[in-house]
Amino acid sequence: MLDNKVIIIEPFNEQFELVIDTNSKLIDNHMVSRTIMRYDFTVIRCNENEIECRIILLDLFLDQSNNDLVKEIAQVTAAFNRMFNELHLKLSQKGQIIEVLNMDLILSKWEQTKAEMTAAVSNNDELKKLIAINDSLFTNKDKLAQAIQNSEFLHMYFGQIFDVSFPKTKKIIGANVLNTANLEWSMNIEEQKTSSPNTLSVLVNTYPVLPLSEGYLNAAYHQFKERIDLDVLNFKMFQREERHFERSTGKLKESVVEKVEEIGHEQVYQRFTYKMTSDTEKKTRPQTQKIS
């Protein structure tokens, strides 16, 4: 930590486990799943402005699912993620990509990955369209870098709290949890008290700026208007993030992100919980114990 900012202060190597729980209901399509990913993260060198690091995807598997479509999507996702199973990056201390140092290696994997993805979705035209979109992605280095920027690991490690003085409140533009429209969010970042002097805990609460405009409501929920009455909905939407670090190094112990969008109708909601924990942290406390 430097000048009341979270930054990575020294090189280290650590392994992390990320568990993603999803509960989504979109009219007739109900999907419940749990995905588990494992990473090896090495900070090779760092200073106050930049980080050189390697991120290795060690494992990715669908642990639970109630829906065959989820299983098919998981196969495509697993093949797609192999494109990024070895990343060598130069990042800002905010976690923003400055340069993908092994870009040529990533680009060289696409033809084989595309063949694996196509075989996995031979009977699904919609997923075939997704592969076609990605085909154009992997001829454009800027788009590819943005895809890496949006990866689960970078979101879970850095979020929007690195290299930011807090407490801080700011407004941001971003998609709703259903990912159907953009809106303005209010984000509040603050430090939490902890019992350990070397643990820095940061809480981020993000809520939509109210009232929601008619234009947003139409854009976000237009696809459902034939099945539900948009005029009588009771909205609940938020994102809550907790991150716990070693104060002396900037090394992540655990991060938990909860995303919820409910529109007051049992046929439409989206709930996600992401939890990423370092192997070192898991070894030092019982699995059921929470950091406070």
User: Residue 286 has what pLDDT?
Assistant: 65
| pLDDT for 234 | 83
Residues 6+ apart with CB under 8 A from 13: 40, 41, 42, 43
Q: Which residues pair with 6 in a beta bridge?
A: 162
How far is 259 from 39, CA to CA, in rounded Å?
Answer: 22
Give bridge partners of residue 274 from the DSSP assignment.
Answer: 20, 257
Give domain limits for the chain.
12-284
Domain boundaries 12-284, CATH class: mainly beta
> Looking up tokens 């454009």, which residue turns up?
140
CB count in 10 Å sphere of residue 61: 11
The pLDDT value recorded for residue 291 is 45
Residue type, 41: F
- What pLDDT is attached to residue 1? 58
Question: What pLDDT does 188 receive?
Answer: 97
Q: pLDDT 10s digit of each residue in the chain, 292 long?
A: 565 789 999 999 999 999 999 999 988 888 899 999 999 999 999 999 999 999 999 999 888 888 777 777 777 777 777 788 999 999 999 999 999 999 999 888 887 777 777 776 667 776 677 677 667 777 788 888 998 999 999 999 999 999 999 899 999 999 999 999 999 999 999 999 988 888 999 999 999 999 988 899 889 988 888 888 777 678 899 999 999 999 989 999 999 999 999 987 788 899 999 999 999 999 987 654 444 4
Going by C-alpha positions, the residue among 269, 249, 209, 276 that lies closest to residue 1 is: 249
pLDDT score of 273? 98
3-state helix, strand, coil in the chain (%, to 5): 30, 45, 25
Q: Where in 247-285 does DSSP place strands (E)?
A: 252-265, 268-278
Cα-to-chain-centroid distance, residue 130: 19
Token pair of 199 as six digits: 């643990």
